[in-house]
Amino acid sequence: MKVLVYSRVFLPATGGVQTVVSELARGLAEVGLNEPRSQAIEVTVVTQTPERMKNDSDEPFRIVRCPDFFRLVRLLRDADIVHLAGPALMPLGLALLLRKPAVLEHHGFQAACPNGLLFFEPAQGPCVGHFMAKRYTKCVECNKESAGLMKSLRSLALTHVRRWLAGHAVFNVTPTDWLAKVLVLPRMRTVHHGVPVGLTTAADGASPETFGFLGRLVSTKGVGVLLAAAEDLQRAKYRFELKVIGDGPEGERLKSQAAGLDGRVKFLGHVPDEKIEQVLADAATVVMPSLGGEVFGLVAAENMLRGKLVIVSDIGALQEVVGDTGLVFRTGDAEGLADCMRQVLDNPRLAASKGSEARDRAMKVFSRDSMIQGHLALYRKALAH
């Protein structure tokens, strides 16, 4: 079986999509090495990311970077299965023209939202689904300020094209059932993202007074809400520390917002993946105050596997991932988030007990092997189809 995995952005660029695609490609290739020759699996990752990793040639799969049009056609033609990480127009259209079985995995809302985030910019909050409700003037209004009128109209038109093409994929795969309900596409299947078991480390020694945030410093991640909650806790005379890991365009504004928090907030900037566990070792709780853009919540699943309590906003994907092992507050509600953090501070055992439950759930539901086998089952069905 020759599997072509197309991801417009790939490692060494950082992000959840790149992490998931890398684990999927590596897992498929490892399975292929253990199969009889007649059932071998050859994996090729095609990407538009030009930068190479130090170990590009050491990976058990082939990486083709920035192919021109004709090479992309040849690669697609030679594949048995085309797996697309998102509804990229050209590769998806070419795969369909070449009559290749296309399995489309959705890592965002591009087939149901022009900005791909399900985030309504004018209100700086979750979108209620204007595109799917055919309120297209709202979509134009949403993107006009940041992109201009013409680009906003173009994004709206391309969303219709993506949705039409996605409707012709053999399977549309989502990492959560909630996302499937948002996209409403034919032949939908849910395959949860898998988290490497190597992240299973006990949270012993972590302090209930230390909270962590991990993610890009952009408006959709809701760090401003987290800082407002921290201000509530400070006014109530609580002792706590907040570690903010990540960088982004909102960084300076957020640092200004945190200026009055008497050093309780530490902005650590970008931290390499291999050092995140060490930096978060003393944090018993990780907070995801997202306002939109979440289709799974890889940060939540990874830190559940680390045995940490995870506090999330009530976006459907995040609620589905944490289940009853985390604490949930209303999206954008700083007071609600402060109440959740206060529960952790008032009950020092809560983070440890919930963290243990979270680790058990992550190991059971979000295993890497389940992700690999789930995709393989779909590929085989697609080939039979």
Instruction: For residues 322 and 361, give the distance between their C-alpha atoms in angstroms, rounded to a whole number.
Output: 8
- Given this model, what pLDDT does residue 35 score? 66
* Domain range annotation of the chain: 2-113+160-194+367-384, 197-365
pLDDT category at 61 given cuts 50, 70, 90 is: very high
> pTM to 2 decimals?
0.92
pLDDT category at 55 given cuts 50, 70, 90 is: confident
- Given this model, what pLDDT does residue 201 score? 55
Judged against a pLDDT cut of 90, whether residue 319 lies above it is answered with yes
Judged against a pLDDT cut of 80, whether residue 164 lies above it is answered with yes
| Average of per-residue pLDDT across 210-214 | 97
Largest alpha-carbon pair distance within the chain?
A: 67
Portion of the chain with pLDDT greater than 70, in percent:
97
Judged against a pLDDT cut of 70, whether residue 364 lies above it is answered with yes
Instruction: For residues 279 and 245, give the distance between their C-alpha atoms in angstroms, rounded to a whole number.
Output: 9
- Given this model, what pLDDT does residue 36 score? 67
- Given this model, what pLDDT does residue 273 score? 84
- Given this model, what pLDDT does residue 15 score? 87
Instruction: For residues 40 and 36, give the distance between their C-alpha atoms in angstroms, rounded to a whole number.
Output: 6
pLDDT category at 255 given cuts 50, 70, 90 is: very high
What's the fold here for domain 2-113+160-194+367-384? Answer: Rossmann fold (3.40.50)
Q: Could you report the per-residue pLDDT of 23-47, keeping only the tens digit for each?
A: 999 999 999 777 666 678 999 999 9
86 closest CA partner among 295, 275, 282? 295
| Average of per-residue pLDDT across 312-335 | 97
Please give the CATH superfamily to which domain 197-365 belongs.
Glycogen Phosphorylase B; (3.40.50.2000)
Q: Could you report the per-residue pLDDT of 168-189, keeping only the tens digit for each?
A: 999 999 999 999 999 999 999 9
**What's at 321, amino acid-wise?**
V
Strand partners, 172: 104, 188
pLDDT category at 249 given cuts 50, 70, 90 is: very high
Q: Could you report the per-residue pLDDT of 133-162, keeping only the tens digit for each?
A: 999 999 999 999 888 999 999 999 999 999
Same fold? 2-113+160-194+367-384, 197-365: yes
pLDDT category at 199 given cuts 50, 70, 90 is: low
- Given this model, what pLDDT does residue 141 score? 95
- Given this model, what pLDDT does residue 54 score? 85
Cα 96–chain centre separation: 26
Positive or negative, the Cα torsion across 222, 225, 227, 233?
negative
pLDDT category at 243 given cuts 50, 70, 90 is: very high
- b/e 38-64 (16+ beta carbons within 10 angstroms → b): eeebbbbbbbebeeeeeeeeebebbbe
